[in-house]
Amino acid sequence: MKKHVLFISLLCLSSFGGAQGLKSIVYDTEVAPNPNSFQPLPLPEPNTTGQTYLHEEWSVGDLTVQSGVIKQLPLRFDVYNNQIEINTEEGIKVCPIELVKTVKYTTPVFEEVILVNSSQIVANSSFQRNKLLKVEYLGEYSLLKGFSTRIIEASYRPEFGAGSRTHRIVINEQYYLQNENRIIPLEKSFEDSEELRKEEQDLIKNYKKQNKIRSKNQESLIELIEFLNNKGA
């Protein structure tokens, strides 16, 4: 089983469509804009701790934006502020997600990592725009992973002199099924989603009768995706 790791963000105004395919978006290349045209990195808010980046380490990669491709610069994904950071000779620059089409790491933290603007897929859908999604499995049906943050509020109680004095940021994960221009959250009873066709609903229901699907277990979900790609064979 071959895995590809991708991030997919939600923004292009053109429809993804069944004919275009995810691979043509992922490997799109154009002329490079100047990375120093982006704004400097703003200062963080005080008294807040926790993980804000998907990976703290910088990874060299190619950033495809609406105006072209910036090649071979250190990049990282700031989940909390929903932006790509670029480490340039003039300092850290910020690229808003609405400008991003794809990011492909060429010196990845783990495996090949690609980020794509999710509106490339669901331009005419009600699915959230400007959201980076990581592709865990690529095929006719793909497995995507999205990220969001939440803040655990400071719990300090002065009357007891106990608790935390700072807010803490944590990253949450959510898996999705992607096919053509559809992105469907893999939550409880997702087989009843109106986004699924009748034959897809039947395949998933039959699969669930014989297999336990855990919505937060990646291997379990990949097995389901492979089943769909084989049309239940």
Per-residue pLDDT tens over the stretch 29-50: 666 778 888 887 765 555 777 7
Lowest mean pLDDT among 46-50, 139-143, 220-224: 46-50
Residues ≥6 apart with Cβ < 8 Å to 107: 59, 60, 61
Q: Which tops the pLDDT comparison, 15 or 156?
A: 156
Q: How far apart are CA 191 and CA 178, in angstroms?
A: 13
End-to-end CA distance of the chain: 16
Query: What residues are paired with 175 via a beta bridge?
Result: 145
Q: What are phi and psi of 199, to 5 degrees?
A: -65, -30
Query: What residues are paired with 92 via a beta bridge?
Result: 87
Query: What residues are paired with 142 via a beta bridge?
Result: 178
pTM for the full predicted model = 0.72
Residues ≥6 apart with Cβ < 8 Å to 74: 58, 59, 60, 86, 87
Is 145 within 8 Å of 91 (Cβ atoms)?
A: no
Report the pLDDT averaged over residues 122-139.
81
Lowest mean pLDDT among 72-81, 135-144, 200-209, 211-220: 211-220
pLDDT(127) > 50: yes
Amino acid at 92: I
Residues ≥6 apart with Cβ < 8 Å to 111: 3, 4, 5
Q: How far apart are CA 48 and CA 22, in angstroms?
A: 37
Query: What residues are paired with 104 via a beta bridge?
Result: 62, 114
